[in-house]
Amino acid sequence: MKLRIGTRKSTLALWQANKVAGELNSQGVETELVEIESFGDKVQDIPIDKLGDKGVFTKALDDALLAGEIDLAVHSLKDVPTVLPAGLKLTAVLERGNPMDVLVRPAQPKETEKRIIATGSIRRTAFWKNRFPENEVVGLRGNVPTRLDKVDSNDWHGAIFAAAGLERIGYEDRISETLDWMIPAPSQGIVGIVTREENDFEDFLAKVDHKESHLCGAIERAFLNELEAGCSSPVGAHALIKNGRLYFLGAVLSLDGTRRLDIEREILIDEASAAKGKEWAKLLKSQGAEELLDHADDE
C-alpha cells in the first residue's frame, strides 16, 4: 500500500507531513508527499481574519482529497474548520506538542519609547490588549522564517508565535518568553490527519492516533463550534489531561481586549467528551459571549 499525503509547502507543514509519513512508514506503509499551495499561502498581503474563516489554509487540500488526488491531508489542527466538507473526516491526530503561545524578541532588541507587538492573530491581539492595553499591536503574516526575519528587521518589542511551530523546525532558541497567561487557540500544537469518510487504511491511522490529544482537541473544537466562532475568532480553549482528570480553560474576548468572559473546569477523565466543550460554551453564551463575537465580526 502507498498513501499520498497532501501538505502545504511551508517548512512547518512539511515537517508535520514528514512526521506522519514516518509514523506510517514504521508500520510498513509506503508514503509519498504531495505539496499543494493553499489560498492562505498565496495571499500574504491581507490579514488572515479578512480572508474569511472557511478553510483559508485547508480548502485546497480538502478539494484534492475529494477529487481523489491524495489519500490523506496533514494540517495544523487549529487551522481546520470545526465542520469539515461533506465526505471528509478528522481520522487521527498525533501527540500534541507544546500548545502555548510565546514571545519572540528581535535578535538585537532595542528599547523604544512605545512597546509594539506583532501578530497576525486576532485572538492573540485581544489577549495582549486585555493584559497590556497601552501597547500597540501590529499585523504580521508569512511562514515562520519570514516572520522571524520581520521581527529582527523592525523596532518591535517582539512578536507572538506558537511554541510548537518554533520547536518543530529548530527555532526553539528564539523563544524569549512563554505567555502562560494567554489561553491557546483550540487545538494549537496538534497535527491533524483528514481523510475521506470511506477509506481502506483506517486501521493504520488508528495506530498513529494519540487518544488523549484527540479527546482534548475534540473538546476544544466543540467549544469553538458551539460558539459559532471560526479559527480567527478571539476565542481561547485549552484542555489538559493530568492524573486521571481533565482540566479546561476557555475564554471569549472583545477585539480590543476590554471585555472578557472566562470559564474553568475540572472533571474526571471518565466524564470527558466533546459534548463537554459544547456545554461549557453554552455557559459562556448565557453570559453574553455571542454579543462579544458579534461585535468582533462587525469590526
Q: Count Cα atoms within 13 angstroms, Cβ side, for 196.
A: 15
> Dihedral of the CA atoms 98, 248, 122, 55 (nearest 10)?
80
Which three cell numbers, joined as nine digits, stand for 120? 497576525
The DSSP-derived string for 205-219 is HHHH--HHHHHHHHH
Q: What is the CA radius of gyration of the chain?
A: 19
Long-range contacts of 257-265 (CB under 8 A, 24+ apart): 257/125, 257/126, 257/127, 257/128, 257/129, 257/130, 257/131, 257/133, 258/129, 258/130, 258/133, 259/292, 260/130, 261/287, 261/288, 261/289, 261/292
Measured distance CA(34)–CA(32) in Å, rounded: 6
Q: Going by DSSP bridges, is the β-strand pair 2-7/30-35 parallel, antiparallel, or unpaired? A: parallel
Measured distance CA(16)–CA(18) in Å, rounded: 5
Mutual orientation of helices 211-226 and 274-286 as an angle, nearest 10°?
30
Active-site residue identified among 49, 62, 71, 79: 79
Residue 172 is classified by DSSP as G
Which three cell numbers, joined as nine digits, stand for 192? 491533524
- Catalytic site includes residue 200: no
Taking CA 47 as the corner, what is the angle to CA 258 and CA 219, rounded to the nearest 5 degrees?
A: 65
Q: Which residues are catalytic?
A: 79
